[in-house]
Structure 1
Amino acid sequence: MKLPFRSALIAATFAAALPAAADDAGFARCLAELREQAPAKGVASATFDTHTRELAPDMAVVGFLDAQPEFTTAIWDYLAALVDDERVADGRAMLAQWAETLAAVEARYAVEPAVVVAVWGVESNYGRNFGKRPLVQSLATLSCFGRRQSFFRGEFFTTLQILQEGHVDADKLTGSWAGAFGHTQFMPSTFMRLAEDFDGNGRRDLVGSVPDALASTANFLARAGWQHGRPWGIEVRLPQGFDAAQAGRRARRSLDAWRAAGLTRADGGALPGGGDTAGLILPAGTAGPAFLTLRNFDALFSYNAAESYALAIAHLADRLRGGDAGFHTRWPTDDPGLSRAERRELQRLLLARGYDIGEVDGLLGTNTRRAIADLQRQLGWEADGRAGRRLLEHLRRPG
């Protein structure tokens, strides 16, 4: 997903300014320092030289450190694009196509197929979007510039180990700006700990092998505490006057205690009792959907430490099993988010009005958001560059 307009504009401006200021000599010194450390990190000097020769920094990645969509996008926009009818239909097709593999994965790791496929769908759109940035370049840059250099140096050396061991071909090792790669977007260190050779060819290949990727994802969730056959959580209704200070994924209480506090199931049923503990999350405050989250939600959260991300995986898995498209409580907005099909429609309508936004792809990049902001200014609206239902409906009107 792309960044919100303001965050994207700030990141783009920052990234554009950085190459001129980038100290190439400093990058060369940093690489020389990293080369000295390589043997102690399990990377042969020859491997280091092969993959860093004539390497230049990609300073754009530094600008993305503080602009992740899980933390900067409204929850209703985030979920509208990640869990739409298109992704559900594609996911059900993947469940059918890979049924035999997924059954074997479930037998070994005790993680249900819908959950594994939901991760696959959100992380790479079922293998369609791996990311285009070369991992070695991105991680070398982040090892030398910006914050969290120590963390990224560990990922950088691990990436070189992956190449040294021959698991993934160097020309195919591309991914996100931060270094996640493959069908289910493992970080290099996660790959080394948990990736599986499920197809038995001697390589743990999350790029070229769907079985390896699905099994590795299930292994991750199993190690994170996934409980087979148990729910991830329950949508609930809050009693009037509920104190939001009681919420928090880690502020766990027994289901009995939550029931005594006045919480009920959002579908009208009684909240189950028992000693299971749950945290309460309020993604949009007390006016929006509320969820009691159980241990399986925590396992999903560990995959990418954002509650919105875990909720997207959980909701997509439910829909793959035939669950409802929406939640019982509506999001507290009069301008809901758009599915990817609706985003593509909006882009076509902008093109028809003469805006040069580039390709119609459903990805709301800088050009699309600038066009939206311009149109919003003309309409006298807040020019925030956001694509919502209100704008789409305006564009659909003739004349």
Structure 2
Amino acid sequence: MGFVRGLSAAAFLTALPLALSLLAPLPAAAQNVTTLFQQWLRSDLWPEARARGISEATFNAAFAGVKPNLKLPDLVLPGESAPRSDKQHQAEFRQPSAYFAHIDGVVSGGRARARAYASTLAAIEHSFGVPRGIVLAIWGRESGFGRAEIPYSAFEVLGTKAFLATRKEMFRGEVLAALEMVEKRGIRPEAMRSSWAGAMGQPQFMPTSYLKYAVDFDGDGRADIWNSVPDTLASIANYLASHGWIQGRDWGFEVAVPQGVSCALEGPDRGRPIAEWVAMGIRRVSGKSFPEHELRGEGYLMMPAGRYGPAFIVTPNFYRLKDYNESDLYALFVGHGGDRIMYGDMHFAEGWKNVGGLSRADVAAMQRALERQGFDVGGADGLVGFKTRRSIGQWQQQAGMKPTCFPDRDLTARIR
């Protein structure tokens, strides 16, 4: 996972109408690209596939009838140097609260499936050490528990992107992995349905992730992440376990952060024993103490909306969720959703403030201004990750302001 920062497969499908409007090539141009695509398949991709042990029969079956899909986003057509449109940065900056709009459906669906698949989930939890609530929350977030439509041929998407996308090399590796799935894992090409980003099946695995982490848990001899619930759930758990999920530790805790503790202390590179955060005055909003074993473990301050929303002390397991999808909000959705699935309706104690009115272009311009001043914002991508948040806080502190660690319209204008 982690193929697109901050979006799950469900979010991809929601955003699809905008994405499909980005490119509208003329029919003649499309015909020319199709010819070039077929030449590329035969003269460029096929020799590498053959060298990797892919048979010609498999290659031909995978690409039978496949044409490049020029409606996919982020494509650079032959003879051009950049994508035709960059609507992404013109889009409105998404408030953090919007990410949780559909969490109730994931929670209710997860509870129902926790009962329906109790024995399977118990066996998976025993085998991989990942809590069932976490596994269920990812399943619900990624594919609506298998109910979301997965509309594309994986070879159409991956082939197009390997030929035309800005990240050609990454997708070239993925399309070769998809061919290996057919050749060595016995997956039929027509069964390989994907999102428009190339992620497949109910866990939304890229092909390289399938080869590494997909599990045959129902014992039928094939890891079927499209149709088998046991295989889907075990594959999600195996992914997290393989990335270092620490059995017995929580993912994180909502906390109250005193004004004297700077929000600029956030980040996975600024961890300290949770006992030290407690000594600084940070407390759980539930009023409960941190478990003794957690006090001894490393924790990290995480404030996804700066001072405009809830704050958390998270554990290394939070970052294992980010291995699945690199968005802070995704990991928070899964952790919080998993808790609610298993333990009841524990809503965030702190509300999300209104921080709208910006475009991603506004945020990116602010990030570039911060970079010029020597701050590490993690890239001027228009997304407010932890490096951008703490850079804002550091800038505010240097300017003699009370740090909020999150952009607003006045602040972005002032920094720029």
Query: Residue by residue, what CA displacement relative to the aligned partner does 1:260-311 show, whole Å, maximum 9, x if unpaired?
Result: 3332222334556733111211111112101111021111111111111111
Q: Indicate conservation of the 8 Å contact 1:237/1:264, yes or no.
A: yes
How far did residue 177 of structure 1 move?
Answer: 1.3
Aligned to 1:291: 312
Secondary structure of the 1:102 match is helix
Unpaired runs of 5+ residues, structure 1, are: 336-399
Unpaired runs of 5+ residues, structure 2, are: 1-9, 76-82, 357-416
Query: Residue by residue, what CA displacement relative to the aligned partner does 1:328-363 show, whole Å, maximum 9, x if unpaired?
Result: 10001299xxxxxxxxxxxxxxxxxxxxxxxxxxxx
Is the aligned partner of 1:258 residue 2:277?
Answer: yes
Secondary structure of the 2:296 match is coil
Q: Distance between the aligned counterparts of 1:100 and 1:266, measured in 2?
A: 33
Aligned to 2:219: 200
2:118 pairs with one of 99, 102, 108: 99
Aligned to 1:209: 228
Aligned to 1:55: 66
Query: Residue by residue, what CA displacement relative to the aligned partner does 1:79-121 show, whole Å, maximum 9, x if unpaired?
Result: 122x11x322221111111111111112211222222111111
Is the aligned partner of 1:145 residue 2:164?
Answer: yes
Aligned to 1:73: 94
Change (3 A) 1:334 1:49: closer
Aligned to 2:106: 87
Q: Indicate conservation of the 8 Å contact 1:18/1:60, yes or no.
A: no
Q: Indicate conservation of the 8 Å contact 1:130/1:185, yes or no.
A: no
2:347 pairs with one of 321, 326, 330: 326
RMSD: 2.7
Change (3 A) 1:10 1:269: same
Percent pairwise identity: 36
Question: Which amino acid letter does the alignment assign opposite residue 36 of structure 2?
Answer: G
Question: Which amino acid letter does the alignment assign opposite residue 354 of structure 2?
Answer: T
Question: Which amino acid letter does the alignment assign opposite residue 310 of structure 2?
Answer: P
Question: Which amino acid letter does the alignment assign opposite residue 14 of structure 1?
Answer: L
Q: Indicate conservation of the 8 Å contact 2:249/2:317, yes or no.
A: yes
Aligned to 1:39: 50
1:190 pairs with one of 209, 220, 227: 209
Question: Which amino acid letter does the alignment assign opposite residue 61 of structure 2?
Answer: T
Query: Residue by residue, what CA displacement relative to the aligned partner does 1:152-210 show, whole Å, maximum 9, x if unpaired?
Result: 01110111111223543332211211211112111110110111111111111111211
User: If the length of structure 1 is used for normalisation, what is the TM-score?
Assistant: 0.76
Q: Distance between the aligned counterparts of 1:301 and 1:39, measured in 2?
A: 35
Secondary structure of the 1:314 match is helix
Q: Distance between the aligned counterparts of 2:223 and 2:51, measured in 1?
A: 23
How far did residue 139 of structure 1 move?
Answer: 0.1
Q: How many residues align?
A: 330
Q: Distance between the aligned counterparts of 1:331 and 1:87, measured in 2?
A: 20
Greater displacement, 312-321 / 220-229:
220-229
